[in-house]
Structure 1
Amino acid sequence: MSVDVVLPCLDEEAALPWVLGRMPDGYRPIVVDNGSTDGSARVAAAFGALVVSEPRRGFGAACHAGLLAATADVVCFMDADASIDPRQLPRTAGPVLAGRCDLVLGRRMARAGARWPLHARLGNVVLAARVRRRTGVPLHDLGPMRACGRAGLLALGLTDRRFGYPLEMVLRAAGAGWRIAETEVDYLPRAGRSKVTGTVRGTLRALADMRRVLAEQGGTGRA
């Protein structure tokens, strides 16, 4: 069975050759160009990826555009910055393909040289704790690698088009009674500087989006 892999992309020309060159057999990359000013789209096409253009900026907008372009029964999401090895995609997709889980998230385990700033780690820890309290699902990371059924995800009707998209996915999935699990994946030195976790401002912006999603999904967003 084939799996579609959605890769939101903003100026990742340097990372894409490594990422796309390590895509496992049976996993089709869908690179969503979210307004890149470098050669990301050209490089992605050269490596055989399906390239989708999403001019509306936003992580959720790019993810949703890729989801709409996907045709496989199971779809994965992962960053295009080389911070996670695509060869570990079967760790997340495997339980979904086997019918044991409905949504699997990759829990990032930092390896030597990985740049995961303290402010980003702390924000992730706090957010994951809130999600555990809200849903009862024992998650420790709302990481960028995940897998689920395409039709089921579309049926959840996610509306966030910013950085709250991954959180809304988990909250709506939990509310729908999905079987949710996490598995460890290696977190590696990424190519270039992160647009989100690389700066305090970017991390705060992402956390603000996620707090808004927490509030919209039936809570105050406070611990």
Structure 2
Amino acid sequence: MLNLMRLEMRKYQLGSYVKGAVIANFVILGFMFMILFISKIEGDIALENYQIALKVIDSFVRGVFIVFAATLIAKLIIGEYKNRTITTAFMYPIKRKKLIAAKLAIVITFTFSAIVISNMFITAIFCFISVTYQLIPDTLTISVVVQHLPSMLMNAIAATGMSLIPLYFGMKKYSIPTTILSSLLIVMVVSSNTGNFSLNDIIVIPITLAIIGISVAYLSIRNIDSVDV
């Protein structure tokens, strides 16, 4: 499985996604500091404390990489069906289920790793600069960061699961735009923040969506032998 994943990553030159993830991190950092800058100008406090700041960072990161996951699904799976290049891949002495499982494993590994690493990277830089220049009227303590870690990890797992939902919509008509648009809709519904509250805070919702995403992936692998190419 690992060798198959490596071959797929070389085939599609997925190193560009790592570069894209790095750029996305700095864009998110830019948004965070822009929020602080605008609030300073308007004389308002957008981020009252570090708990809220870390929550906003987590929300941004999850939203960005759910869309990243959709683009990966579109490239690794939907695009191959759309262009019928998957026919050639299925001619190799590799089971269809194993091939699709390897592709989905790449998506899952990348999405989860990107969310966790990006959260840690952005949080570290944001907190360092915020504390140095006293950008937030609050004191950052180790306990605040430690208390945030479990929810961040759980959110990363849930986001990774729900990032597989676009596979269902993309496989309907082998549509790349539909795959990506469905991920944007998921982000809009789950990660939208109103008054420091989002649907993701209702724990049943992200868990349910994650289960749906995992189910979509499982059914895609289980039924792959009966899908027409």
TM tier relative to shorter chain = under 0.3
- Provide TM-score, normalisation by structure 1: 0.28
The structure with more strand, counted as a fraction of residues: 1
Which is bigger in relative contact order (C-alpha 8 A, separation at least 6)? 2
The structure with more helix, counted as a fraction of residues: 2
Could you say which structure has the larger radius of gyration? 2
